Amino acid sequence: MSTPLVSLQDLSVQFCGSRTASALNEVNLELGAGEVLGLLGESGSGKSVTLRTLLRLHPERTTKIQGRMLVDGQDVLALKGRALDLYRGGTVSMVFQEPGLAFDPVYSIGQQITESIRAHAAIDETAARAQALQMLERVQIPQAKRRFDAYPHELSGGMRQRAMIALALACQPKLLLADEPTTALDATVQIQILLLLRELQRETGMSVIFVTHDIGAAVEVADRIAVMYGGRVVEQGPVSQIVRTPRHPYTAGLLAATVGTENRGQPLLAVPGSPPNLAALPPGCSFAPRCVHASERCRREVPPLLSLGRQALACWHPIMPLAEAA
């Protein structure tokens, strides 16, 4: 594979406070240019932390980051000052879960997008406004000219999310991070936003990391899926392989627990137990306490992430080993 756009190597993040929580534990991820990666997981899996770390959004004082992060050839952890400001928004941008919270309520959305454009490029107000309006039209906001001067609270949920996507794409980033962008939206709006993201990704050729707990949303948008659990990547692969023939017991459990149209009338194959406590992770595989296949080795040793081609797996007793074709 040619040089990937994003490369996370042995990335570990710890939050220090009255207790220390290991949010990420030696995460290894790679993303090529123009690829869409779906990051799947539940609470405490570390998926949102990964995105925030990519943008260096954590407070410096209480966060310990180890490992390497390379985005578009830059060492993200070494960025400072102006370089970091340009990186945020210019190279990497983010779309958040709650569209209402990402906007400042006292400025119109047009003003905020214009401000973002001018922070990254030295162009005058009129040109920036024109570009901002263009962005609003691109995200298919009806009557964009009128909505340009609207305040965030005057827009509906779906509109706000489109406006946030416009804000994120205003400076043409190479990588877009989407943190559960459709979770808070209604079903009919959700599919519109997912299709919009897919279309914009095809048009601009940018890479996307799409975080979600909804497998359906990931299937619609992603080329590859990485499953996270307890701050680690446990499985990675093309979306069809993950969905049809999962290798890791957690992935399989997640798919089995997803209510579909076939299991009506039967008890669901639920994964027992609860997501792990990040302040007190078990010594071995973090999924071992809930895994039916767990052995002594699983409880003692953390399985390493082994990769083969486009797939990766971290498990001592997978359902289907990595070497076997899916």
Partner 1 sequence: MNTPSYSQNPAQDRGGPAQPLLVVRDLKKHFPVRGGPLEKVKKFVHAVDGVSFSVPKGKTMGIVGESGCGKSTTARLIARLMAADSGSMVFDGEGVEEFGGIRLKEFRRNLQMVFQDSFASLNPRLTITETIAYGPRVHGMPAAEAMRQAHALLARVGLAPEQFASRYPHELSGGQRQRVNIARALAFDPRLVILDEAVAALDKSVQAQVLNLLQELKAERQLTYLFISHDLHVVHYISDYVMVMYLGQVVETGPVDRIYGQAAHPYTRALLSAVPSMDPDKRTQASPLAGDPPNPINPPSGCRFRDRCPHAHPVCEAKTPGLIGIADEPSHQAACHLNDPASGHPAALTEIQP
Partner 2 sequence: MSASLELSLPAAAVAAPASQPSRSYWLVVWRQLRRDPMALAAGLVLLLIIGAAVFAPWLAPADPYKASMLKRLLPIGSPGFLLGTDELGRDMLSRLMHGGRLSLLMGVVPVLAAFGIGTAIGLLAGYIGGKVNMIIMRVLDVFYAFPSVLLAVAISGALGPGMSNSLLALTLVFVPQVVRVAESVTTQVRQLDYIEAARMSGASAFSIIRVHVLGNVLGPVFVYATGLLSVSMILASGLSFLGLGVKPPEPEWGLMLNTLRSAIYVNPWIAALPGALIFVTSIAFNLLADSVRSAMDIRR
- Which residue lies nearer to partner 2 by CB, 40 or 168? 40
Does 293 contact partner 1 by CB under 8 A? no
Q: How many residues bind partner 1 (CB under 8 A)?
A: 44
Does 158 contact partner 1 by CB under 8 A? yes
- Which residue lies nearer to partner 1 by CB, 2 or 188? 188
Q: Which two tokens stand for residue 211?
A: 């975080």
Candidates 142, 309, 323, 325; binder of partner 1 (CB under 8 A) is 142
State the residue for tokens 């998926």: 47
- Which entry of partner 2, partner 1, none binds 43, CB below 5 to 8 A by partner kind? partner 1
What is the identity of the amino acid at 272? P
In angstroms, the CA 163 to CA 99 distance is: 8
Candidates 208, 215, 285, 298; binder of partner 1 (CB under 8 A) is 215
Q: Find out whether 89 and 129 touch, Cβ atoms under 8 Å.
A: no
- Which entry of partner 1, partner 2, none binds 73, CB below 5 to 8 A by partner kind? none
Rounded to 10 deg, the angle between the 125-138 and 157-169 helix axes is: 130
Considering only residues 250 to 279 of the shown chain, the ones binding partner 1 according to CB under 8 A are 253-254, 256-261, 263-264, 267-272, 274-275
Q: Find out whether 39 and 242 touch, Cβ atoms under 8 Å.
A: no
**Coil, helix or strand for 320?**
coil
- Which entry of partner 1, partner 2, none binds 214, CB below 5 to 8 A by partner kind? partner 1
How many C-beta neighbours within 10 Å does residue 1 have? Answer: 8
- Which residue lies nearer to partner 1 by CB, 65 or 255? 255
Q: What are phi and psi of 90, to 5 degrees?
A: -85, -45
Q: How many residues bind partner 2 (CB under 8 A)?
A: 22
Which residue blocks in the chain are alpha helix, DSSP H? 47-54, 81-86, 99-102, 109-120, 125-138, 144-147, 157-169, 187-204, 215-221, 239-244, 249-257, 296-300
Does 70 contact partner 1 by CB under 8 A? no
CB of 172 to partner 1, least distance (A): 25
How many C-beta neighbours within 10 Å does residue 130 have? Answer: 13
Considering only residues 170 to 189 of the shown chain, the ones binding partner 1 according to CB under 8 A are 186-189
Residue 66 vs residues 21, 40, 232, 260: alpha-carbon distances, Å:
14, 23, 14, 40
Considering only residues 228 to 287 of the shown chain, the ones binding partner 2 according to CB under 8 A are 244-246, 249, 252-253, 255-256, 267-274, 277, 280
- Which residues make up the interface to partner 1 (CB under 8 A)? 42-43, 142, 156-159, 186-192, 194-195, 213-217, 219-220, 239-240, 243, 253-254, 256-261, 263-264, 267-272, 274-275
